[in-house]
A and B are shown apart, each in its own frame.
Chain A
């Protein structure tokens, strides 16, 4: 069983819509959760971190965590073409485990 599961996509949304990216993890003891964004051919970049149940908002990004369901998500409001990238979910479980990433395309 993979530590971190994500739908690989691709996920396409029109400009201005809400993009919803989902992730589940296997280690119930995990305490910290992260979303990285990776543009094609570039380095992964940390965009959000969340440590407690509930929502955490940063600009157009909202991370949501539900430890009981072992589920973490990322919402991108008012999606822009510049948001088109691969989004990697990462979970700290004595080490940092990544999902395979979801490729998001925002259509102008």
Chain B
């Protein structure tokens, strides 16, 4: 069974540019989560999809961040325009519906974003 895959693994962009991160969850997982880890800080929740619907987007820092999950399969997270403080590692995770509260999330290896 393929795990959660994320692309790109590392992106270096200049302030003001746009970056789109992609996440392919484990097949059949309805729940998809985005998390972010800024250097030296904890992994923080950004948002949660159930299929194609946004269940909780309370962690999204501002309107420069846009997440989509068209068709309930893969998801994209776009940052436009990127700022220096957006640098960090963006993790995607997925889980079965009935494991949403168990903490059993399957994480991807993350997309490292560096904004210069």
Contact = CB atoms under 8 A, between A and B. Distances in A.
The answer to whether A and B assemble together is: yes
Interface of A: 2, 4, 32-34, 36, 41-46, 49, 88, 90, 92, 95-101
B108 A43 contact: yes
Q: A43, A46, A100 — which one has the most chain B CB atoms within 10 A of its CB?
A: A43
A98 B103 contact: no
B42 A4 contact: yes
A2 B42 contact: yes
Interface in B19-67: 33, 35, 40-45, 56, 58-59
B42 A49 contact: no
Main SS at interface, chain A: strand
Contacts of B90: none
A95 B109 CA distance: 21
Contacts of A4: 42
26 contacts: A33-B103, A34-B103, A36-B107, A41-B109, A42-B109, A43-B4, A43-B91, A43-B107, A44-B91, A45-B107, A46-B103, A46-B104, A46-B105, A88-B43, A90-B103, A92-B102, A95-B58, A95-B59, A96-B103, A96-B105, A97-B42, A97-B45, A98-B43, A98-B44, A100-B42, A101-B42
Contacts of B91: 43-44
A96 B45 contact: yes
Contact of A44 (B44, B45, B102, B107): B107
Nearest to A6: B42
A45 to B, nearest CB: 7
Contacts of B42: 2, 4, 97-101
A43 B4 CA distance: 9
Nearest to A98: B43
Contacts of B40: 100
B45 A32 contact: no
Contacts of A45: 107
